[in-house]
Structure 1
Amino acid sequence: MEAFFVSAGIVALAEMGDKTQLLTLVLALRFRRPWPIVLGIFAATLINHTLAGAVGAWVTTQLGPQALRWALGLSFIAMAVWMLIPDKLDDDEVDKTPRFGVFGTTVVTFFLAEMGDKTQIATVMLAARYNPYWVVAGTTAGMLLADAPVVWLGERMTRLVPIRVVHRVSAAVFAALGLFALLG
């Protein structure tokens, strides 16, 4: 269960102010249909993070324990630095016409936006350290914890949450995990 809670917490923090959270806000404001959007986020995240979890599990078979410890430690520290750089949503992230409906549009755009994103890379790193199944369950839950409220509360959420503070706390958590991996 540790893997689940650590993964959920890390991804929920990393998602605050992230490009995919901004995409969630755009989808919510544009379509105003919360359930298909939340289900689309769930489906896209589950697929994306399952692939990332498989990569993380594979990495553990390719690296020895010492190399894995260093790779994880340095990756978490790099993630801490990355957290301090806020994301911006590109104008072309959302298709102008929902060709696949609200659910399909959400799945496709969210999946593509999540490729190479902080939370996907965090999933790879966490799956290299913990049980990948619990990691994928946790990172998916963390993504929904961060994004589902945005769907229902929309723009009000962006004014209530001090994103700069959340980014700093997230960076500190990643740095601590990196140091723990390097020293432990």
Structure 2
Amino acid sequence: MEALTTSTLAVSIAEIGDKTQLLALVLACRFRKPVPIVIGIFLATLLNHALAGSVGVWIQGWLDPLWLRWLLAASFFAMAAWMMIPDKPDDEDSRFYRFGPLLATFVLFFLAEIGDKTQIATTLLAARFVDQFWLVVAGTTLGMMVANLPAVLVGHKGAGRIPMHWVHGVSAAIFVALGITTLWWPW
């Protein structure tokens, strides 16, 4: 159960203010069809994180557990720093809008997740919880849905009123706590 809860928590926090959350907001405003957008986010995340998790399982096979622990903790500290750099949506995304809400969301989310902090977290969490691969993928996918569903449902209403610098600061603090916990928690 630790794999599921840690994965859900890490990704839902990492996703706050991330480019994919902004993308969810933009797509919701553009298409005004939440169901296909939510389905597109779910499918893209599931595929992307299953692939990232597979890389994590592969890494675990040749990485010493002590090094893996330090790498995971370092990644949490790096994500804390990364949280302080807000993302902006890419204007080139509009070329995919002609595919409709479901396919545009699927393609854009899958591409946006490549090399993103949530994908990196998924890779490292899958390496940490190698025997619980599907719980990690389920947790990271759930974390993405927890963070992006409100963005889709709320759309552009109220998005300008959220003090994002506070959200980023609190998120960074939580990642620092996750990094410290990773170092001190017995594996």
TM-score (norm 1): 0.91
The letter of the residue matching 2:84 is L
* Residue 37 to residue 69, structure 1, CA distance change in 2 (3 Å): same
Query: Cα RMSD over matched residues?
Result: 1.6
Task: Give, in whole Å, the separation in 2 of the partners of 1:169 and 1:141.
Answer: 20
Task: Give, in whole Å, the separation in 2 of the partners of 1:71 and 1:151.
Answer: 33
TM-score (norm 2): 0.90
CA shift digits 1:86-143 (9 cap, x unpaired): 1111211232641x32211110011101111111111112112122211110111111
| CA shift for structure 1 position 55 | 1.2
Map 1:73-92 to 2 at 5 A: 73-92=73-92
The letter of the residue matching 1:52 is A
Map 1:30-45 to 2 at 5 A: 30-45=30-45
Note if contact 2:21-2:148 (Cα within 8 Å) is conserved in structure 1: yes
- Asked if 1:6 corresponds to 2:6, the answer is yes
Map 1:5-154 to 2 at 5 A: 5-95=5-95, 97-98=97-98, 100-130=99-129, 131-154=132-155
| CA shift for structure 1 position 21 | 0.7
Note if contact 1:10-1:170 (Cα within 8 Å) is conserved in structure 2: no
Note if contact 2:126-2:133 (Cα within 8 Å) is conserved in structure 1: yes
* Matched residue count: 183
Task: Give, in whole Å, the separation in 2 of the partners of 1:86 and 1:76.
Answer: 17
| CA shift for structure 1 position 147 | 0.8
Contiguous gaps of at least 5 residues in structure 2: none
Contiguous gaps of at least 5 residues in structure 1: none
CA shift digits 1:142-167 (9 cap, x unpaired): 11111112112112242454322222
